[in-house]
Chain A
Amino acid sequence: MEKIKKKKRKTFTRRDFLKGFGSGALGAAVVPKLVSQDVFSLQTKEGKIPLYSKKQITLNINEKNYSLVIEPRETLLHVLREKLNLTGTKKTCSGGECGACTVLLDGNPIYSCLTLAIRADNKKITTVEGLAADGKLHPIQQAFIEKDGYQCGFCTPGFIMSSVALLEKNKNPLTEEIKTALSGNLCRCGNYSKIYEAVSVASKSMRGA
């Protein structure tokens, strides 16, 4: 960052630089990794803003490798939805408020709207599209249907991913533990009670109980 700041001091400010990244904190966080890359410019009303070059990354999504050239500022959510057409992962707040964009990164649930795609380079990502195997639904998916753990269905993929992560770690969760694990997901239709039931039923069927 310092290097560029010196070079371009007259034409842009730190604020402009961060704006170019779309997100101040996250932009700054990735700088060290990219500082040796070539720069190119983006035209804005303040003039030209230099940006780091595009970067090639490999994402392992649902057990399939995707080689992609992306801009460092692109979120994982953006790449999934706009570049790979995996639209099961939903966007509603873009700010880590609702959990509709939850995917698993190396088995952990994350908000893909707050995760830069470059951070997922060479990592294993699971989205809602990757749960059913050989035409058979995941027990959690099955339980959501049986127990009606949704209404409009928009937040559902996020809830299902959080539930998958929970049941991977905790085979027999208490209701309070389910509530905690799903507390990062919002359901505006308000069907939480049925979602808990679904997770509970799924945990039973996964344990063969």
Chain B
Amino acid sequence: MAKKEYSIDIKDSNLLYHEEFREMETEEPEEVPSPEKEKFKIIGDYTPRIDGERIVTGRAPFTHDIKLRGMLCGKILRCPHACAEVVSVHLSRARSLPGVKATLQLKKGRVKYAGEQVAAAAAVDEKTAEEALKLIKVEYKTLPFVVTEEKAMEEGAPQVHDSPNIDKFNDYNRGDIKKGFESADVVLERTYKTAVEIHHTAETHGSVAKWEGKRVTVWDSTQAIFNVRDGLAQTLRIPASRIKVIKKYMGGGFGSKLGLNDYTVAAVLLAKEAKRPVKITLSRKENSLCVGNRPSSIQTIKAGVKKDGTLTALYLKNYTCGGIRRGDRCSEPLIDVYKCSNVKVEEYTVFTNTGAGRPTRAPGHVQGTFALEGFLDELAHKINLDPLELRKKHYTTKNEGGTRIPYSSKGLDKCYLLGAKKIGWGRRNKKPGEGNGKIRRGLGMASQIWWGMGRPRTLADVKLHRDGSVEAVCGTQDLGTGTKTYMATITAETLGLEPKDITVKIGNTEYPWCGSSGGSTTTPSVAPAIRDAALKAANYMKNQTAEKMEISPDDVIIGKEKLSNKNDPAQSISFKELLKEMRRERVFHGEYVGRPLGYAYNTFGAHFAEVEVDIETGKIKVLKVVATHDSGRIINKLTAESQVIGGITQGISTALFEQRVMDEATGNMVNPNLRDYKIATSFDIPEIEVAFVDMVDPRINILGTKGLGEPPRIPIAAAIANAVYNAIGIHVSEIPMTPDKVLQALKRKEVG
């Protein structure tokens, strides 16, 4: 039995991103290769996934599917109280149940939310492990709690941590906000609310741990194998060199699988005690309670505008709730997207006795964009301006927020043009709500900004074997975004092969280092690193060929499975032949070195939505979405399209359905399942059109590619809300826009 309590530092929601991005921005590499202008054959095409067959035949090994000899099933006992003191934990009865091989106390002191882990047991099978949990006796002293942000903000509310529940974490000022308001012709103030969302990955979280002597191997359903390894090393004081973390296939992450989880520590400790491998997979309910969520927000925006549409002042006050941890910074879109000289932001976190917030696909930006873009539409109406014109009027090619440096590339203007044309922007109601009848139609749009510039010092290898086979290796993770496939595509393109010829190896901490797969960083990190390695391999082959042919390496060209003399194409050597002549296999190390300072690197996009609102029932139906994106060069259009479609589906879900409901009486979540927690499904999917402006960024990396994970998730909820506003003449201003909220909004409109 472990006597010690292990505390794990899961970083505050999107502060994790901010820390990493700050580091990314301050590094100037010595030598920065600029992107290749050349036209590629496979890069930029539609390439089906190289691992598709494994997936459709059910043979892709997910962490849930791992089976090891003698493996035990681990289960975690969780506190049913929102706040309680753990007085005592008695494990002996559970430990003596036949079939139970290890038990563990995981918590001492105060439990701060319902669902926090208290103890664990590992047994020969699931039923026995469940029985064991029933035999663990925990004595609690229950304490007062608070589970909603409104209540937590009240005076005299129970304190979640031994400090005030409200904590200011962002104070931003640009220009003079007071003067800005004074010079305005129209001043508008609005408040927006967004709900707590649960990630609900298809594969629930889980880990398998196996000890061999002093070494431990962990199979984890994670977006970040190296973070899990280093987190375990730090938490359990095991040298990182003795920990191996493997992620083969993973059933969705969306931010909830970044970094080390506490159940992984439990699996490692149980496996150590039992001297047998242990697998812990969480239930749907556990996934709802304790592996993260998107923090809520209550945002008040106040802005001043001149009659000609010039924004003179922008002010945001945000109360965001990430449960026992900090909420999301929602101000980035407001600070950055539109030109405005006078900006002020105040952001506060509100603590409650609920599960910790965690990065959720575009943390802060989904909430911030919903508020900002909704506000702009109302503002545009106030001064009789086309909402799209208002946005164009405040277009900027510089980073407005902090640095004032120019964007390396920005295709948002192209997105506006393309999107407006495809949706038929002229069809919108010129005056919001001007239609008649029971069913009202409307059009709306919203802009998107995100980072997506990649992690300097990402490593990748290309290995040439003497039998002519080729490996592309990187310690990254494929979340279903197609990482494996583009590694193969890029390597194949560079060496004159087909993607199917490349064996891709990822998801193992013994492979070259790569950061977490989150924040739209994977493609702009891994793609240039693997391209670098493949180019080195290509150069080696060119040199060998040149030597054989007694020509200059510059005269060697790589063709389909062969290398030939540029000046005499008949003179050639096959790829296989050349590799056979190597005396040993060769590994070529590639690296993404970084990008020049002095530029801001961001991704942009705009979504346009058409909706139908039934003003009698309050039901919204999304009819069509046009998504336009500037994410630099698109490496695989097929998987990129899927990613955008996925972002839109999830965004529709955010706009119309998703919300965690807490019971104030018991402090428990009311809907910890997929029955009562509604997500978008089959019948909610509109016609979706995806268009990339496909610009090659001139500096970011050798391929000119940026990230695409977050971008399509950001503007969609805002665009739908604006379309609803255009349809019914009042902004619902709270997501999810469930029928009751639509009807309430219509009532407000009626009252005036």
A residues in contact (CB < 8 Å) with B:
22, 42-45, 81-82, 85-95, 97-98, 100, 127-129, 131-132, 137, 141-142, 144-146, 148, 150-157, 160, 179-180, 182-183, 185-194
Residue pair A129, B53 in contact (C-beta under 8 Å): no
Taking A145-B53, A152-B251, A190-B647 as contacts, is the C-beta distance between A90 and B203 under 8 angstroms?
yes
29 contacts between A and B (CB under 8 A): A88-B59, A90-B202, A90-B203, A92-B284, A95-B674, A95-B675, A97-B284, A97-B673, A100-B202, A129-B58, A141-B53, A145-B48, A145-B53, A150-B52, A150-B56, A150-B480, A150-B642, A151-B252, A151-B646, A152-B249, A152-B250, A154-B251, A157-B56, A179-B683, A183-B681, A186-B202, A186-B674, A188-B201, A191-B649
**Nearest B residue to A195, CB-CB:** B682
Residue pair A128, B480 in contact (C-beta under 8 Å): no
B window 637-662: CB within 8 A of A: 638-639, 641-643, 645-650, 653
B residues in contact (CB < 8 Å) with A:
48-49, 52-53, 55-62, 64-65, 67, 93, 97-98, 125-127, 131, 134-135, 200-204, 249-252, 254, 283-284, 479-481, 638-639, 641-643, 645-650, 653, 673-675, 679-683, 685, 688
Taking A97-B673, A189-B480, A194-B645 as contacts, is the C-beta distance between A45 and B56 under 8 angstroms?
no
Name, among A43, A154, A182, A192, the residue most crowded by chain B CB atoms within 10 Å (CB to CB): A154
Minimum CB–CB distance from A205 to chain B (whole Å) comes to: 15
* CA gap between A150 and B48 in the complex, in Å: 11
Taking A90-B64, A152-B480 as contacts, is the C-beta distance between A190 and B648 under 8 angstroms?
yes
Residues of A with C-beta under 8 A to B203: 90, 92, 152, 154
* CA gap between A153 and B622 in the complex, in Å: 26
Chain A interface, DSSP helix/strand/loop, else mixed: loop
* CA gap between A86 and B65 in the complex, in Å: 9
Residue pair A157, B58 in contact (C-beta under 8 Å): yes
* CA gap between A87 and B62 in the complex, in Å: 9
Residues of A with C-beta under 8 A to B201: 152, 188
Which residue of A90, A137, A154, A186 contacts B56 across the interface (Cβ within 8 Å)? A137
Which residue of A131, A132, A148, A153 contacts B251 across the interface (Cβ within 8 Å)? A153
A-B contact sample (6 more), CB < 8 A, given A152-B480, A190-B645, A192-B649: A87-B64, A89-B58, A93-B673, A145-B49, A151-B481, A189-B480
Residues of B with C-beta under 8 A to A82: 125-126
Taking A45-B135, A145-B48, A193-B688 as contacts, is the C-beta distance between A187 and B284 under 8 angstroms?
no
Minimum CB–CB distance from B219 to chain A (whole Å) comes to: 13
**Nearest A residue to B134, CB-CB:** A45
Residues of A with C-beta under 8 A to B67: 85, 87
Residues of B with C-beta under 8 A to A87: 58, 61-62, 64-65, 67
Residue pair A44, B134 in contact (C-beta under 8 Å): yes
* CA gap between A22 and B134 in the complex, in Å: 13
Residues of B with C-beta under 8 A to A45: 93, 134-135
Residue pair A186, B679 in contact (C-beta under 8 Å): yes
Which residue of B204, B254, B685 contacts A193 across the interface (Cβ within 8 Å)? B685
**Nearest B residue to A91, CB-CB:** B64
Which residue of A81, A144, A188 contacts B679 across the interface (Cβ within 8 Å)? A188
* CA gap between A148 and B642 in the complex, in Å: 7
Minimum CB–CB distance from B343 to chain A (whole Å) comes to: 34
**Nearest B residue to A96, CB-CB:** B675
Residues of B with C-beta under 8 A to A154: 62, 202-203, 249, 251-252
* CA gap between A203 and B605 in the complex, in Å: 35
* CA gap between A43 and B685 in the complex, in Å: 49
* CA gap between A92 and B284 in the complex, in Å: 7
Taking A89-B58, A94-B283, A137-B53 as contacts, is the C-beta distance between A153 and B645 under 8 angstroms?
no
Taking A44-B131, A190-B645 as contacts, is the C-beta distance between A129 and B57 under 8 angstroms?
yes
**Nearest A residue to B687, CB-CB:** A193
Residue pair A155, B649 in contact (C-beta under 8 Å): no
**Nearest A residue to B67, CB-CB:** A85
* CA gap between A48 and B65 in the complex, in Å: 33
Residue pair B639, A153 in contact (C-beta under 8 Å): no
Residues of B with C-beta under 8 A to A194: 641-642, 645
* CA gap between A180 and B131 in the complex, in Å: 40
Residue pair A188, B683 in contact (C-beta under 8 Å): no
Which residue of A42, A81, A189 contacts B252 across the interface (Cβ within 8 Å)? A189
Minimum CB–CB distance from B434 to chain A (whole Å) comes to: 31
